[in-house]
Amino acid sequence: MKKRITFNLNGKPVAIDAEGERKLIWVLRVDFGLTGTKYGCGESFCGACTVIVNGYAERSCQLNIQNVQDKDVITIEGLLNGDKLHPLQKAFMDNDALQCGYCTPGMILNAFSFLNKHPDPSIQEIKTGMENNLCRCGAHKRIIEAVQSASKEMKGVH
Amino acid sequence: MEKNKNVTEEIIELKDVNKFTRRSFIKLTGGGILLYLTIGNLPLYSQDERRIQHEMPTDFNAYLKIGTDGRVTCYTGKIEMGQGVITSLAQMLADEIDVALENVDMVMGDTDLCPWDMGTFGSMSTHVFGAELRKAGAKARRTLLEIGAEYLKVPEENLEINNGVIFNSKNKNVKVSYAELAKENKIDRETKSETSIKIPSEFNTINRNFKRRDAFEKVTGKAKYSADIQLPDMLYAKILRPPAHNVKLLEVDTSEAQNVDGVQIIKESDIIAVLHKYPDVAESALSKIKTKYDNPEIKLDDKNIFEHLLNVAPEGKVVANDGDIKTGEQNSKFIFDETYYNDYVAHSPMEPHTAVASVENDKVTVWASTQTPFRAKDEVANALDFKPENVRIITPFVGGGFGGKSRNLQVVEAARLSKICGKPVQVAWTRKEEFFYDSFRPAAIVKIRSGISDAGKINLWDYNVYYAGERGSKQFYNIPNHQTVVYSSNLTGVAGTHPFATGPWRAPGANTNTFARESQIDNMAAKAGIDPLEFRLQNLSDNKMIRVLNTAADAFGWKTHNTGSGKGYGLSCAIEVGTYVASMAEVDVDKLTGKVKVNRIVCVQDMGLVINPEGATMQIEGGITMGLGYALSEGLHFKGEEVLDLNYDTYNIPRFSWLPEIKTIILDNKDSEPLGGGEPAIVNIGALIANAIYNAMGIRMFILPMTPERIKEAAKKE
């Protein structure tokens, strides 16, 4: 049964009438046209669909839309502040931390969440924190470097 | 200036694979100066026999447009899938035509705008196409110089060009920009004068680091991939898939799916699909379809596949030989008879195959994740019975390919469904479909009989490779008696060979062949009691290979280590797409669990002139990281024609925790032509890790991937 679900999407209040079990990824991509959130595996194994819910990374392919009621959802599109890149976005660019770019939004948002908990991480902590986000091109080395350089830039401030 | 003569007339006079119409091209490109580039004789670099039989076009492969804003646009059938050619090709063009890199735009993989191209694979984009693009850029520069000379009424020899401005070197106020020339809207001609490309001392943008040009779009989520194309009234299609390949659908009941609100079901003899304006609703409606399939007898699985493959092997073809095998045997003190194997490996790009098709009357436009847009165009034209000129394929960013996006099943599916339902249709495969319909890297077998003298000189090399193909099969050591025989160079295999589709996978053939060759070399070195680096150097006379090996040894700090300590050191070297590559690794092997931890890898490449050193380094790092998968964990499980690995829970690709410390060195060789960059580094990884495992454990692994189970098993046998 459809119900009205309201939440904050990239800082703005939104409402949608939808079946509560619909997965957030499809609502974001199709209903809101926010295609930066990618489908990669559909079963939460790869992290391409990662979004931020109340400050922390969630796999939107597994998240029912009813579970974001009244919550703050941030997608990759919401990380850009006007024309200003988020330090993580800038660090990914500066470190060439991507190739095909398909896993990149999920990587950046997972790193965003990770840095929330670990503002000054070691390389080993970054590896552990990013472990379940998959990249096939092999950009791992530069992603780690990007996350570390962003952490220095951000100094714990998101 | 030859007035009223349009360059596109010359275009259509050429052998026109593409059936370009002058009207459509002019409409699409607008005003400005248009230069067509005759890039001839692109060699066919692939082991696919069908492609080899396919005659290579000798007409142009690229256009350049100089816009009225002075921007240079290159139209090419190549596509960007992460390998970075959107940056490196633009760098080459910018340098030769003398504009700043930021003034070059790339239009890629659009079959209406770009001239025919065979596809993006085989490390050819920089190596082959890029070299030709440079010549074309140089020719364009010369043509612009001639037009500028006429415009300025200054002899050509007095003119210079800097950043898109032609000026009189004796009076710099006498000048005209490319933009101004373009505003004159005189579009024509190609210089008849001889032109030459720049030499290294003249480079402005070549051989310099530039950041990826697609990075901003990709970090902000603005980059469009095929699934991100959303058209008005578009429906998402989910297609009924069988549980295994080659099973027959006996019964199907779509009634329950039909009841889902807003759903449209298409039932053709060979395709049943559920369409809906929401992909998730289409997916759940699809799951309501009830089916019954036949149950064919299961004959093959991932255990008996090698026996089967050897049984059905076609006749071999000798691709290299010298001396005499018998003499080689007589001159060998030790003979080594070994067989090497590798499992099927998935491409598994993070973006599954996707296409959006929009049929309108007798025309269709398809946005597709493909490495072969022009092949897709032909396939769609055939499937829909449309004229090829009415089919347009547009290639947005491709989320990884690795050889797996050369087949275009999803493109044809979307086009067919759009034609039937009369609305735009998106077909985006699930991860499960991606695994099921992958054209896997073929399982392969290599049998080697080799021999050495008492002093460790290799005298015999009898090399037989089944199914992996020819690439990388030819040995480069100094061996007087050798032969290389390739059994089935066709990566797709004839019917009855493989239980599912197979095809090229990043550096097709070379991963298997390098694993076998470099393992065997290591094996012989161990028997001879010679350090594996020393053994290779003793048996090599190719100075380029000696140089990369010595450089790697210095950077790595190579030393002879006794075997069996649990910590191991290995090396491997190869020649791939002209590039020389040597790699060394340090690993830890846990004897109890069979787990391998790769601590560090050094990789040295001589890849000729490097267009973007940072970009090339990224490709090396990517190749190393991706290669750890086929070396350690990636081997497809299957039972009959049912694919058992359908997601990343059971099919393990490399992760952050696997990442070794990686050091890359690219040797300075600016005077050589640019060679392959996307593939060389990956080919060493199998042998590199296998040889390091041998050093750690004293156990030689003959099959890839070297999973903990297989390592434990091999340890037990010792």
Say which range, A14-18, B193-197, B605-609, has the weakest mean pLDDT.
Answer: B193-197
- Statement: residue B39 has pLDDT above 80: no
Give the pLDDT confidence score for residue B43 in this predicted structure.
37
- Statement: residue B710 has pLDDT above 50: yes
- Statement: residue B315 has pLDDT above 80: yes
* Same domain as A115, residue A69: no
* Same domain as A108, residue A69: no
Burial class (CB in 10 A: 0-12, 13-18, 19+), A5: buried
One-letter-per-residue 3-state SS of B280-297: HHHHHHHCCCEEEECCCC
Helix, strand, coil in percent for chain B, rounding step 5:
35, 25, 45
Amino acid at the residue B659: L
User: What chain B residue is nearest to A133 in terms of C-alpha separation?
Assistant: B655
Identify the band that residue B188 occupies on the pLDDT scale cut at 50, 70 and 90.
low
Give the pLDDT confidence score for residue B611 in this predicted structure.
94
Identify the band that residue B66 occupies on the pLDDT scale cut at 50, 70 and 90.
confident
If you average pLDDT over residues B469-482, what whole number do you get? Answer: 97
Phi-psi region at B221: left, alpha or beta (left = phi > 0; alpha = psi -120 to 50): left
- Statement: residue B541 has pLDDT above 70: yes
Which CATH number applies to B231-294+348-436: 3.30.365.10, 3.40.50.10600, 3.40.50.1000, 3.40.109.10? 3.30.365.10
Say which range, A81-85, A152-156, B461-465, B652-656, has the weakest mean pLDDT.
Answer: A152-156
pTM: 0.94
Predicted complex ipTM = 0.98
Q: Name which CATH class applies to B7-208.
A: alpha beta
Identify the band that residue B6 occupies on the pLDDT scale cut at 50, 70 and 90.
very low
CATH number at residue A115: 1.10.150.120
| Residue reference for tokens 């750890």 | B628
Alpha-carbon span B176 to B395, nearest angstrom: 36
* Same domain as A73, residue A94: no
Give the pLDDT confidence score for residue B5 in this predicted structure.
29
Give the pLDDT confidence score for residue B12 in this predicted structure.
27
Give the pLDDT confidence score for residue B37 in this predicted structure.
60
The answer to whether B47 and B80 are in contact (CB under 8 A) is no
Identify the band that residue B47 occupies on the pLDDT scale cut at 50, 70 and 90.
very low
Of A77, A104, A129, which one is at a domain's C-terminal end? A77
- Statement: residue B41 has pLDDT above 50: no
Identify the band that residue B36 occupies on the pLDDT scale cut at 50, 70 and 90.
low
Say which range, B62-66, B106-110, B218-222, B308-312, has the weakest mean pLDDT.
Answer: B62-66
Q: Which has more pLDDT, B67 or B544?
A: B544
**A148 part of a folded domain:** yes
Mean pLDDT value across chain A? 96
- Statement: residue B44 has pLDDT above 50: no
Alpha-carbon span B83 to B123, nearest angstrom: 9
Minimal Cβ distance to B211: which of A34, A96, A99? A96
* Same domain as A64, residue A103: no
Query: Which pLDDT tens digit goes with each residue over B388-422?
Result: 999 999 999 999 999 999 999 999 999 999 999 99
Give the pLDDT confidence score for residue B117 in this predicted structure.
81
Phi-psi region at B284: left, alpha or beta (left = phi > 0; alpha = psi -120 to 50): alpha
Residues of B in contact with A148 (CB under 8 A): none
CB pair distance less than 8 Å for A38 and B399: yes
**A24 part of a folded domain:** yes
User: Which residues 321-360 of B have a C-beta within 8 angstroms of A?
Assistant: 348-352
Of A35, A57, A77, which one is at a domain's C-terminal end? A77
CB pair distance less than 8 Å for A35 and B622: no
Minimal Cβ distance to A134: which of B82, B624, B655? B655
Domain parsing of chain B, residue ranges: 7-208, 231-294+348-436, 312-345+440-717
Give the pLDDT confidence score for residue B109 in this predicted structure.
94
If you average pLDDT over residues B471-492, what whole number do you get? Answer: 95
Q: What residues are paired with B426 via a beta bridge? A: B236, B356
Query: Which pLDDT tens digit goes with each residue over B136-173?
Result: 889 889 988 998 999 999 999 999 999 999 999 999 99
Say which range, A47-51, B48-52, B561-565, has the weakest mean pLDDT.
Answer: B48-52
Residue B692 tokens read as 């390091």
B223 touches chain A (CB under 8 A): yes
* B312-345+440-717 fold: Aldehyde Oxidoreductase; domain 4 (3.30.365)
Query: Which pLDDT tens digit goes with each residue over B587-624?
Result: 999 989 999 999 999 999 999 999 999 999 999 999 99
- Statement: residue B18 has pLDDT above 70: no
- Statement: residue B26 has pLDDT above 50: no
- Statement: residue B55 has pLDDT above 90: no
Give residue A33's domain range.
2-77
Say which range, B3-7, B339-343, B518-522, has the weakest mean pLDDT.
Answer: B3-7
- Statement: residue B335 has pLDDT above 60: yes
Alpha-carbon span B580 to B545, nearest angstrom: 6
- Statement: residue B657 has pLDDT above 90: yes
Mean pLDDT value across chain B? 90
* Same domain as A41, residue A22: yes
**A30 part of a folded domain:** yes
Give the pLDDT confidence score for residue A23 in this predicted structure.
98
* Same domain as A58, residue A25: yes
CATH number at residue A50: 3.10.20.30
The answer to whether B667 and B593 are in contact (CB under 8 A) is no
The residue of B81, B88, B219 whose CB has the most chain A CBs within 10 angstroms, and thus the best one to mutate to test that interface, is B219
* Same domain as A54, residue A36: yes
Minimal Cβ distance to B218: which of A26, A98, A134? A98
**A82 part of a folded domain:** no
- Statement: residue B191 has pLDDT above 80: no
Query: Which pLDDT tens digit goes with each residue over B230-261?
Result: 999 999 999 999 999 999 999 999 999 999 99
How many cross-chain Cβ pairs, A to B, lie less than 8 Å apart? 176
Query: Which pLDDT tens digit goes with each residue over A36-59?
Result: 999 999 999 999 999 999 999 999
- Statement: residue B42 has pLDDT above 50: no
Percent of chain B topping pLDDT 90: 79
Neighbour-count burial for B701-713, b at 16+ CB within 10 Å, e otherwise: bbbbbbbbebbbe
The residue of B350, B612, B679 whose CB has the most chain A CBs within 10 angstroms, and thus the best one to mutate to test that interface, is B350
* Same domain as A49, residue A14: yes
Q: Are strands B391-394 and B363-368 parallel, antiparallel or unpaired?
A: parallel
Q: Which of B62, B73, B181 is nearest to B128 (CA)?
A: B62
Q: Tell me how many domains chain A contains.
A: 2
Residues of A in contact with B431 (CB under 8 A): 40-43, 46
- Statement: residue B357 has pLDDT above 50: yes
Give the pLDDT confidence score for residue B67 in this predicted structure.
86
**A134 part of a folded domain:** yes
* Same domain as A53, residue A15: yes
The answer to whether A72 and A54 are in contact (CB under 8 A) is yes
* Same domain as A72, residue A124: no
- Statement: residue B3 has pLDDT above 80: no
Give the pLDDT confidence score for residue B58 in this predicted structure.
34
If you average pLDDT over residues B214-243, what whole number do you get? Answer: 97
* Same domain as A139, residue A91: yes
Distances (CA, A) of B465 to A71, B149, B614, B620: 59, 59, 35, 26
* Same domain as A19, residue A71: yes
Of A13, A47, A77, which one is at a domain's C-terminal end? A77
Domains B7-208 and B312-345+440-717 share a fold: yes
